[in-house]
Amino acid sequence: MNKRNFARDILFGVAVGDALGVPVEFRSRDYLKNNRVTDMIGYGSHHQPPGTWSDDSSLTFCLAEMLTGKYDLLRLAGFFINWQQYAYWTAHGNVFDIGIATNHALNKLSRGIRPIEAGGSGEGDNGNGSLMRILPLALILDDLPIDKQFQIVKDVSSLTHAHIRSVLCCFIYIQIAISLVHGSTIVTAIKEASATVNRFLDETATCTNTERKVLSRILEGNLKDLEESQISSSGYVVSTLEAALWCLLKTNTYSDAVLKAVNLGSDTDTVAAVTGGLAALSYKWNSIPEKWLQTLAKRKEIEELADNLDKKTRKQ
């Protein structure tokens, strides 16, 4: 019996969500209420053809490629710099969307700063630039002790975003993904991840109570009860994670989840990419509409990368 290819779930899930959101990035929620995205379109905000993904997917693919070989943060930093400077792992050979914090961190990496020291560590450095690219880590962390899982997530996040809030959002996201890989539903996966993270935080001095309070809507499990007006879809890391989980809790298919994310407006590509990775883990990558997969830039290259990652990380 063929075992499931979770790497395809992650890479196609992220990239399709990203591509759906690219044409309407920065559009307001009110605008999208009257101009709803219902299919994969092109041009718009970044003047890119349909199926074009952005930095979210590019950096996810860089991490995935690093994980096909030996785990090596310097190698990952090299891929990131290659993307920034030479358009490596871009949809059409150009970098058209790069976050300020990520750009600053990559400039530091290119000057030889150690990877774990490159990312901003101030409270103002909590954009979603590490959350958007972190998901492939879920495929290598499952068998490790929880403190080791946290440390690896922290290190990989810190290449661009080192503040504990960004790290914790990545850690929660990865724990949800691990539960999905184990076969949990999205509702159960969020509950299991929240329990795991709460227990870890109770037992360690990882963060302050203030930081836990910032994450309380996620960790206390009441996101589904919130109205759309209570959900922000900005580039702030906590808002992005909340929005993605809210979309997943309010829908039952991949396409409904990512379209809901896009139509929240604002940081549409990243919210949909973060949503899409978990949605594909929940519903499988081949539940993504074939029309969208056919439109996706570099589909064959993504498929090959996913299959290489699957071979490296598959449990025998």
For 147-176, what is each residue's pLDDT tens digit?
999 999 999 999 999 999 999 999 999 999
Ranges of the chain with pLDDT below 70 = 1-2, 315-316
Q: Which residues have a Cβ under 8 Å from the Cβ of 81 and sit 6 or more positions away?
A: 106, 109, 110
Token readout for 159 is 């290449």
Q: Which residues have a Cβ under 8 Å from the Cβ of 146 and sit 6 or more positions away?
A: 196, 200
Give the angle 145-122-84 at the CA atoms, nearest 5°.
80
Q: Which residues have a Cβ under 8 Å from the Cβ of 50 and sit 6 or more positions away?
A: 19, 23, 40, 41, 42, 295
pLDDT of residue 316: 47
pLDDT of residue 208: 86
Q: Which residues have a Cβ under 8 Å from the Cβ of 259 and sit 6 or more positions away?
A: 20, 37, 38
Q: Please report how the helices 146-158 and 164-181 are oriented relative to each other, as an axis angle in degrees rounded to 10.
A: 120
Model pTM score: 0.96
Q: Please report how the helices 254-262 and 268-283 are oriented relative to each other, as an axis angle in degrees rounded to 10.
A: 170
Phi, psi (5° rounding) for residue 262?
Answer: -60, -45
**In b/e form, how buried is each residue of 93-109, taking b as 16+ CB within 10 angstroms?**
eebbbbbebbeebbebb
Number of H helices, E strands in the chain: 16, 0
pLDDT of residue 315: 66
Beta bridge partners of residue 48, listed in sequence order:
43
**In b/e form, how buried is each residue of 141-167, taking b as 16+ CB within 10 angstroms?**
beeeebeebbebbbbbbbbbbbbbbbb
Comparing CA positions, the residue from 177, 242, 173, 250 lying closest to residue 214 is 242
Q: Which domains does the chain have, with CATH numbers?
A: 6-313 (1.10.4080.10)
Neighbours of 62 (CB within 10 A): 23
Comparing CA positions, the residue from 188, 183, 194, 196 lying closest to residue 281 is 183
The answer to whether the beta carbons of residues 80 and 158 sit under 8 Å apart is no
Comparing CA positions, the residue from 130, 157, 164, 118 lying closest to residue 235 is 130
